Amino acid sequence: MGELLKVSDVELYYDHVYALKGVSLNVNEGETVALIGANGAGKSSILRAITGLKKVRSGEIHFRGHRIDGTRPDELVRMGIAMVPEGRRVFSYMTVRDNLMMGAFTRTDKAEIARTLDMVLGRFPRLKERYSQTAGTMSGGE
C-alpha cells in the first residue's frame, strides 16, 4: 500500500504565536493513526491544516501524491478529506442514519455509499442499534 498523507515540516501560527513548528508525519494507505498529546500540543491545529481550515505558514501537505496545502476545504472534501470536530457536533433533530449520510453528500455511487455505510456500522455497532433514532437523544459517549 502506498503513501496516503504526507505532512512535511509544517509551521502554523495563530496571529504571531506558533501553534506548530516543524511538524512532519506520514500515513500509509490502510493505516490507522492516532494523534495523542496534552491540551495545546497542536493536535487540532495539524488537523485544521490538513483539512484546509487553517493556512500553513511553511511546509507542505500531500494527499495521494498531490500537494494540498492552500487548497480550499470544500475541494478537500471532494477529495475525501474532512474533519469531525470534537464535542457533540451532530444535527440533533436528524436521525443517526441521516447524520451519517451527510458524510456522503459529494458521492454519487450509491453502491459505494452502501458499502461504506455497512463498514461504518460494522465498526460502530452502537450506531447501528441507534440507526433510526434522533441523534440528539444519544449520550455524549455514543
57, 15: one domain? yes
Confidence (pLDDT) at 57 = 95
71, 106: one domain? no
Q: How many domains, the chain?
A: 2
Q: Phi, psi (5° rounding) for residue 76?
A: -65, -35
Asked if 135 contacts 95 with a C-beta cutoff of 8 angstroms, the reply is yes
41, 12: one domain? yes
Per-residue pLDDT of the chain (142 residues; tens, 9 = 90+): 799 999 999 999 999 999 999 999 999 999 999 999 888 899 989 999 999 999 999 999 999 999 999 999 989 988 989 877 666 677 888 899 988 888 787 788 999 999 999 999 999 999 999 999 998 888 777 7
51, 100: one domain? no
Confidence (pLDDT) at 85 = 64
Confidence (pLDDT) at 116 = 93
9, 72: one domain? yes
Q: Phi, psi (5° rounding) for residue 10?
A: -80, 135
CB-count exposure of residue 113 (10 Å: 0-12, 13-18, 19+) = middle
Asked if 1 contacts 30 with a C-beta cutoff of 8 angstroms, the reply is yes
Provide the domain limits for residue 122: 96-137
107, 62: one domain? no
The single residue listed with the C-alpha cell 476545504 is 73
Q: Give the global pTM.
A: 0.68
125, 57: one domain? no
